[in-house]
Amino acid sequence: MQVESTLLFETPEEIFKRVFRLLKPRTPVPAVRVDFRKFANANSSIRLENGRLAVKITDLLEGAPAPILEALAYILLCKLYRKPVPAMYSHRYRLYFNRRDMRTNLHAVRQTRGRKMMTEAQGNYFDLEEIFQELNFRYFFGLMSQPQLGWSRRPSRTTLGHYDPSHNVIVLSSVLDGPGVPRIAVEYVMFHEMLHLRHPAEHRGARRCVHTPEFKRAEKEFDRVEEAKKLLKRI
Ligand SMILES: [Zn+2]
């Protein structure tokens, strides 16, 4: 990690002002206010309000080393002024969040602060518990412990399924709980999410690999996989 660019003992406000000066040398530096907020995720935001920069940073970064806040300052200010973020800073920032302790903190925060966006397992047309247990016996020797199951509140077509390890929940899009949806399509999405329980995401440095080669191999073990994929495209 390069730290030469960061002076010691800068406040978060001073860091943002210094980065602003470097990015917009001809613009007078506005007043900056930085607040650490208890968000349910790692989000941070920046806004220009009445000539002042209002920065809200996840409290997960309260006490983070100055080079991390500097990286975040580049990311947020570049976003605000539509400039490309220098790769060095986005890399530094991602690397920090992929550290084991940060992942643990983020996980705990999501678990306690997150809101569940789902309904019961029993839908109008399909019972997710029944589908889970059938697949469990067919593909996992009945050995997979059942996470919480539910349908999404909003019928998304882009996210058909989702496994949230922080809450140990599988959510399927309620767009799949319809009269014209073949059961095998629902089963395939559930199977995919069950594989996420079986093959957790791997972290390699700054990269997060969700669908590992191992995962993709396991996915092909689903009976009638091609048929299921074709059906899903029509939903
Ligand atoms: Zn997936």
> What is the distance between the terminal CA atoms of the chain, rounded to a whole angstrom?
47
Strands 161-164 and 148-151: unpaired
- pLDDT > 70 in the chain, percent: 91
Q: Which residues contact 58 (CB under 8 A, 6 or more apart)?
A: 36, 37, 38, 39, 41, 42, 43, 44
What token pair was written down for 18? 């210094």
Between the CA of 212 and the centroid of ligand 1 the distance, in Å, is 10
| Spacing, Cα 230 to ligand 1 middle (Å) | 17
Mean residue pLDDT across the chain:
88
Q: What is the rounded average pLDDT of the residues 129-154?
A: 92
Give residue 198 CA to ligand 1 midpoint distance, Å.
12
Tens digit of each residue's pLDDT (9 = 90 or more) over 50-69: 999 999 998 889 888 889 99
Is the predicted pLDDT of residue 170 greater than 70, yes or no?
yes
Ligand 1 centre distance from Cα of residue 210 (Å): 7
- pLDDT in the model for residue 159: 87
64 C-alpha vs ligand 1 centroid, how far in Å? 31
- How many A from CA of 17 to the centre of ligand 1? 40
Question: How does 65-89 read in b/e, with b if 16+ C-beta sit within 10 Å?
Answer: ebbbbbbbbbbbbbebeeeebeeeb
Task: Look at residue 103 in the predicted model and tell me its pLDDT.
Answer: 84
Residue 107 has pLDDT above 90, yes or no: no
pTM above 0.75, yes or no: no
Confidence of residue 204 (pLDDT cuts 50, 70, 90): low
- The helix/strand/coil state of 163 is strand
Task: Find the 163 Cα to ligand 1 centroid distance in Å.
Answer: 8
Distance 216 CA to ligand 1 centre (A): 10
Distance 7 CA to ligand 1 centre (A): 42
How far is the centre of ligand 1, averaged over its atoms, from the C-alpha of 82 (Å)? 31
For range 125-142, the mean pLDDT: 94
Instruction: Give the Cα separation of 97 and 206 in Å (integer).
Output: 8
